[in-house]
Amino acid sequence: MGCGTVSFGRGRHGVSPVRQHWVLDPEPTGAAMFVETRTPASPRMLPIVLVHGGGGQGTDWGTTPDGRPGWADLLIEQGYEVHVVDRPCHGRSPGRTSTPAALAMTARLFAPGDRPEHSQWPGPGGIDDPFVRTLAASATGLPSDLAAAQVIERRLLEALLEDVGPAVLVAHSLGACAAWLVAESRPDLVAGVVALEPAGPPYLDVPGTPLGLPAGITAAPLWPTTGAVGLSSVAVAIVEGETSQMQAACAPVADFLRLAGVGVDHLVLADRGLRGNGHGLAIELNNREVLGIVLDWVQAAAYPHDHSASFLGTGEPA
């Protein structure tokens, strides 16, 4: 299968001014989530919500560490309304995590290191790589109580979706936990979930850190022991890079979801002609091509009966 049929060029869709706003937790916690909304002049039927990973923030979607356009801009170019969130305690949202992210951890998770086949990272890797340092500069640690944080993230994302309507959630790494929770609790608001190398494997536990998934693929409780209820009606894709340290977790997460009654499309990039990707699928050298594969899936799965809006393949409206 090819590398996707989306054609990216200079923006064809006029964009309204960026709207920056906060979503407030409906519970009396004082928590809030910063949201940056970008709307093209003629948006497609469903918006896309971009949810960053563990120690990241919404700016991760705005540009790559080496200064190329990020997925937020590329999605606008394709006519999608985009909502970029800062999860609570990250980025521009209030609150603080326990510790900053370590430079060495950022290098190990995102850059090549001792994996020469990881060819899509823009720099040489290691802690002296300027692109590693750029990415690490905006990164933080994790909340000390990850389960409680995910419950708040779920409520805030639900509040956002109640305002903007049903949307496709595109979530990276640990950010996928919030997407699973929202899709299970409010499937009426989630047209699809694209999980870019989601946190895993199931029941992950890293002693001495807040990182643990006692509910399987989330820290917060996800569903009853009988299996998925809401998520079973939501289109789900898991996207896997070829050389990522997180690659081995993707298939077990997909299997966990399937055993719970969730249909999952496991998109292995190497099987679709995209080689050399690590964990930072949205920020690597071929981020346009990766997004093309994602949007092909979105068009087929989240818009199964919408043919009039499609301009995938030529880059022009049908």
pLDDT (tens digit, 9 = 90+) per residue, 70-117?
A: 999 999 999 999 999 988 867 676 566 656 667 888 899 999 988 889
CB 227 within 8 A of CB 257: no
Average pLDDT score, the chain: 87
290: number of CA atoms within 13 Å, CB side? 29
> How many Å apart are CA 225 and CA 11, to the nearest integer?
47
158 pLDDT above the threshold of 90: yes
258 pLDDT above the threshold of 50: yes
Domains, the chain, ordered by start: 19-301 (3.40.50.1820)
pLDDT of residue 91: 62
pLDDT of residue 55: 81
pLDDT of residue 152: 93
Q: Which residues contact 240 (CB under 8 A, 6 or more apart)?
A: 197, 247, 250, 251, 266, 267, 268, 269
Phi, psi of 253 (to 5 degrees): -65, -45
pTM for this entry: 0.89
